[in-house]
C-alpha cells in the first residue's frame, strides 16, 4: 500500500492511498479520514460509497463529512467506484464502465476481468484496511449516495452482522425496475434476472430487511427521481414493518449540496448505532 497524500484535517488525518487489488486486477485508490482518537487505538469506521462518475475524491472533498466524523471520533472510508486504467473495459455512456461499477461482481465479457467491485468492497479492501490502520472491525456503519446508496443498502442487508447501521442519500432503490439498473445488470450480470436480485435493495428489503437502524434521505426536487424508485423501497419497508426513517427533503436535488446539507444527521445517526455496539 502506498501513501499518495496525508493532510491534517479537523485534528486528524485525511489520507489518500493506493494498492494493488487482486479482486480487480488493477491499482485501486481510496481515501481514509482518521480522527485524532485513532492515535490511541481502533476507532469506529463509516464507509461512504459514491455514485456514478465519482472517484474516491468527490465525497472526500465535497460532502463535509470529516468535521462531523471528528466530533464523534469516527473514521471515514471513501473507496473508488470502479476499476480504472487503459486496459480496463469502458463505455462511452457515463452510467456504464469506469466510474459505474454498481458494486457487483461482473460475470459477462468484457467486464468480468476487472469489474469485481462486490468482492473488492466487501472483502479485499476491508481486510487491507483493518490490517494497516487503527479501525474497529466490530463497529462499522455504511452509507452512500445514488449508485453508492444502492451499494450501501444491498451490502448492509447482505452482511447484517457486520454493520451496526445503514443510511443512504438518494439511493437507487429498485434497480431491477429502473433504467439505472436494468442496463447495467444486463451488461455486467447477463439476462438471468435471478442474479440481479441480491443487488436490488427493494427485493432484499422484502425478503430479509436489516436488523439495525436505517436512514434514507431523498430530495423532492431530485432530477433523477423517476430512476431512483424511492416509492418501491418505501412500500417494501412498510410491508415488512422494517424500522426505518425515510425523509423526503423539500426542494433538494441530487447534488452534493443536498448530501452536505444532511451529512451531520447521517454521521450522528451512525455514531449512535456504532457506539451502542460493545467493543
Instruction: Classify residue 105 by its DSSP letter.
Output: B
Bridge partners of residue 215, in order along the sequence: 167, 245
Question: How many C-beta atoms surround the C-beta of residue 257 within 10 A?
Answer: 11
Q: What is the pLDDT along the chain (279 residues), one digit of tens a residue?
A: 999 999 999 999 999 999 999 999 999 999 999 999 999 999 999 999 999 999 999 999 999 999 999 999 999 999 999 999 999 999 999 999 999 999 999 999 999 999 999 999 999 999 999 999 999 999 999 999 999 999 999 999 999 999 999 999 999 999 999 999 999 999 999 999 999 999 999 999 999 999 999 999 999 999 999 999 999 999 999 999 999 999 999 999 999 999 999 999 999 999 999 998 754
Evaluated on CA atoms 169, 174, 176, 177, the torsion sign reads: negative
Please give the pLDDT value at position 66. 98
DSSP codes of every residue in 42-67? -EEEEEEE--TT--THHHHHHS-HHH
The answer to whether residue 270 is catalytic is no
Q: 3-class SS at 9?
A: strand
Taken in order of first residue, the domains within the chain and their CATH numbers are 2-278 (3.40.50.1820)
Q: Which member of 165, 178, 222, 266 is catalytic?
A: 222
Of the candidates 28, 29, 269, 258, the one whose C-alpha atom is nearest the C-alpha of residue 145 is 258
Quick check: pTM over 0.75?
Answer: yes
The answer to whether residue 222 is catalytic is yes
61 φ, ψ to 5°? -95, -30
Residue 230's alpha-carbon distances to 33, 81, 171, 175, in angstroms, are 30, 22, 8, 11
Alpha-carbon gap, residue 193 to 92, rounded angstroms:
25
The answer to whether residue 72 is catalytic is no
Q: Which member of 56, 150, 254, 266 is catalytic?
A: 254
Please give the pLDDT value at position 276. 87
Q: Which member of 146, 165, 167, 178 is catalytic?
A: 146
16 neighbors 5 (Cβ within 8 angstroms): yes
Question: In whole angstroms, how large is the CA radius of gyration of the chain?
Answer: 17
Amino acid at each position: 500500500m502506498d501513501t499518495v497524500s496525508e493532510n491534517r484535517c479537523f485534528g486528524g488525518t485525511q489520507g489518500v492511498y493506493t494498492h494493488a487489488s487482486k479482486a480487480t486486477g488493477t491499482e485501486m485508490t481510496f481515501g481514509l479520514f482518521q480522527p485524532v482518537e485513532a492515535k490511541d487505538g481502533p476507532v469506529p469506521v463509516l464507509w461512504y460509497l459514491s455514485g456514478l462518475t465519482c472517484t474516491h475524491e468527490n465525497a472526500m472533498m465535497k460532502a463535509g463529512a470529516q468535521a462531523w466524523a471528528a466530533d464523534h471520533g469516527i473514521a471515514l472510508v471513501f473507496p473508488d467506484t470502479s476499476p480504472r486504467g487503459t486496459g480496463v473495459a469502458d463505455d462511452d455512456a457515463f452510467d456504464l464502465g469506469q466510474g459505474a461499477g454498481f458494486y457487483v461482481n461482473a460475470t459477462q465479457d468484457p467486464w468480468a476481468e476487472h469489474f469485481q467491485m462486490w468482492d473488492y468492497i466487501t472483502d479485499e479492501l476491508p481486510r487491507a484496511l483493518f490490517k494497516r490502520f487503527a479501525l474497529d472491525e466490530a463497529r462499522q456503519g455504511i452509507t452512500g449516495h445514488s449508485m453508492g446508496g444502492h451499494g450501501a443498502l444491498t451490502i448492509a442487508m447482505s452482511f447484517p452482522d457486520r454493520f451496526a447501521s445503514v443510511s443512504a442519500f438518494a439511493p437507487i432503490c429498485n434497480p431491477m425496475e429502473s433504467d439505472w439498473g436494468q442496463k447495467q445488470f444486463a451488461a455486467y450480470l447477463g439476462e438471468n434476472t435471478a442474479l440481479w436480485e441480491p443487488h436490488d435493495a427493494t427485493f432484499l428489503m422484502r425478503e430479509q430487511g436489516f436488523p439495525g437502524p436505517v436512514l434514507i434521505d431523498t430530495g423532492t426536487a431530485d432530477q433523477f427521481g423517476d430512476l431512483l424508485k424511492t416509492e418501491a423501497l418505501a412500500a417494501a419497508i412498510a410491508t415488512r414493518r422494517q424500522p426505518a426513517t425515510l425523509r423526503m427533503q423539500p426542494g433538494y436535488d441530487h447534488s452534493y449540496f443536498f448530501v452536505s446539507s444532511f451529512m451531520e444527521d447521517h454521521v450522528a445517526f451512525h455514531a449512535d448505532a456504532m457506539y451502542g455496539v460493545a467493543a
